[in-house]
Amino acid sequence: MTSEAHTALLPLNQTAIAASVIRPGGLWRSVDVVPEAGSTNTDLIARSKEGAPEGTVLVTEHQTAGKGRLGRGFTTPARVALTFSVLVRPSVPSDRLGWVSPMMGLAAVAAVREVAGVKAALKWPNDVLVPGEERDGKLAGILAEADFSDADQLGIVVGMGLNVAQTREQLPVENATSLRAEGAPGTSRDELLTTVLAEFEERYAAWTASAGDAEASGLAAEYRDVCVTLGRPVRVHLPGDRLLEGTATGVDTQARLLVGERALSAGDVVHVRPGR
């Protein structure tokens, strides 16, 4: 194994990560790196119910029962991915909360471009991609879950699994990719995580200061700029084996995908595939 390939397999340095992102008046309050977890989202939701503060970050070296959209599960080998969840408690109108997951996607795209030099993009609603000539490679998935246990303070946990050091053979499906597979084998997971957290904090501060207004905060314009779904023909698979075909013309103020006359939230959709 080359030294470059080995870099991403080093254990995460919790002390260094915390020192980099935690500061007085900032969003991040604690960073906890655990050797193994079933799902960082599940574990952080449990901590939220116990009163964990906004800005809690949970990271694992080895996720054995990761959660995707619609109950899909996944596992990753130890130390080859960046698997983590964050807890936020935004005080914004409920119809604007759909922007929390895309916000993490934007943070991931910015971090991957800066740290790894890989030109990532987003697919609506929750995938980080590396666009390709023949097909796009999925680099990361993002899942947001809500904790309603405290009637006065909603908790939202946002989790991400980002493929860093997997070889082509280690990737779970044909359309998946990793930073290593995209020519960035020496990417530091420490640097990648601290940059994702910094990028998320910057956007979250602007968004909450605008009462969750994605247009006023600049979040919506940035999202539209990096979302490869927009402007393309799509086939949208809906519950009950229903199918909607058309062109994805935009994303509205609630982060819903606009296809023809329809505005679709992430919870309305099973899959979005390229159209013909």
Extract the tokens encoding 22.
Answer: 């935690």
For residues 42, 129, 54 and 35, what is the CA-based torsion angle, rounded to 10 degrees?
50
The DSSP symbol for 227 reads: B
To the nearest 10 degrees (0 to 180), the angle between helices 189-209 and 14-21 is: 30
Alpha-carbon gap, residue 164 to 8, rounded angstroms:
7
Q: Are 87 and 48 in contact (CB under 8 A)?
A: yes
Q: What is the pLDDT along the chain (276 residues), one digit of tens a residue?
A: 444 444 447 899 999 999 999 999 999 999 999 999 999 999 999 999 999 999 999 999 998 876 655 455 556 788 999 999 999 999 999 999 999 999 999 999 999 999 999 999 999 988 999 998 788 999 999 999 999 999 889 999 999 999 999 988 888 788 899 999 999 998 999 999 999 999 999 999 999 999 999 999 999 999 999 999 999 999 999 999 999 999 999 999 999 999 988 999 988 898 898 887
* Per-residue pLDDT at 74: 56
pLDDT of residue 48: 98
| pLDDT computed for residue 146 by the predictor | 96
| Cis peptide leading into residue 274 (ω within 30°) | no
pLDDT on residue 66: 63
Q: What is the pTM of this model?
A: 0.93
